[in-house]
Amino acid sequence: MKDSIHKYYQVGLIAFMAYPGIMKGDHPDTLEYMKKIAYDDYFDAVETTWIKDPAIRKSAARLFDESHMKVCYGAQPRLLTTGMNANHLDEGERLKAQASLLEAIDEAQELGAKGIAFLSGKWKPETKDESLSQLFKTTRTLCDYAKTKDMMVELEVFDYDIEKASLIGPAPYAAQFAAEMRTTHQNFGLVIDLSHIPMTYETPRFVVRTLRPYITHLHIGNTVCTDPAAEGYGDQHQRFGFPCGSNDTEQVLDFLRVLKEEGFMDASDPMVLSFEVKPWKDEDPDAVVAGAKRVLNRAWALLED
């Protein structure tokens, strides 16, 4: 493409993946990691998560505002680091997850975000319908509350049988859920992640076309999911170029082509497209992020006008 990618997307970085130490919300260097992202003008957006210290949270909000960044809030760590499940069959446990996600909406607003993203929880085939009903309860409550603040609620599509084993899930099932949600809540959308697509045994073209009316947010990254014996197998968001990885420049280019074909390049209202890359073991997080930029730059350069 001759035009800059920043014309069509707000390129972002998921802070709690690039710097996984902040995932639990209490890392003492959280603000320093956020500064790295804010000072890098490659990034138009930052995806943060819970910051338990009110003073650090206030400083982060000021930093994001001063650096003129779009702020997104990922509530996934609130669930993944605590074992909470938004579609838990036990109503008391479901309500615990719901309460945390409602707190996330307040915190997201404080940080300057216009919504939150979360994920569905584990499920069993024999109680799938009951789990779905529980997820509807949680999601509708979140959307009702977010609407009072003019905010969005987004559900990220994950694998359904590998690691996260989330209820949502394969693209057709995600489409059914989103269609039902949209009948009552216009402030609901879906997040799709290139790194999750191989784990649902689908293709970018199939996923984007199936979920097209409901997609409001995009992630790109890598995964190791074809060989259970391979190092890093599962939903680990390894860097591009990781051994046995499913995604690299070719797959990012294919994803961009599909997005272009399906109308997801709107210069008047650019969607957030964020890297979801995570250092493996003792890898340098800044090197991993730099590598992700190189992959996206190359794929964009190869994308036909």
Residue ranges covered by each domain of the chain:
5-302
- Interior CA angle at 206 toward 202 and 209, to 5°? 150
Low-confidence ranges of the chain (pLDDT < 70): none
pLDDT of residue 285: 97
- Interior CA angle at 218 toward 244 and 73, to 5°? 110
Give the pair of three-digit tokens for residue 131.
Answer: 């789990």
CA dist 136 → 80, 131, 183, 211 (Å): 19, 9, 12, 18
Amino acid letter for position 190 = L
pLDDT of residue 28: 95
| Other C-beta atoms lying within 10 Å of the C-beta of residue 185 | 18
Q: What is the pTM of this model?
A: 0.95
Quote the CATH superfamily of domain 5-302. Answer: Divalent-metal-dependent TIM barrel enzymes (3.20.20.150)
pLDDT of residue 163: 85
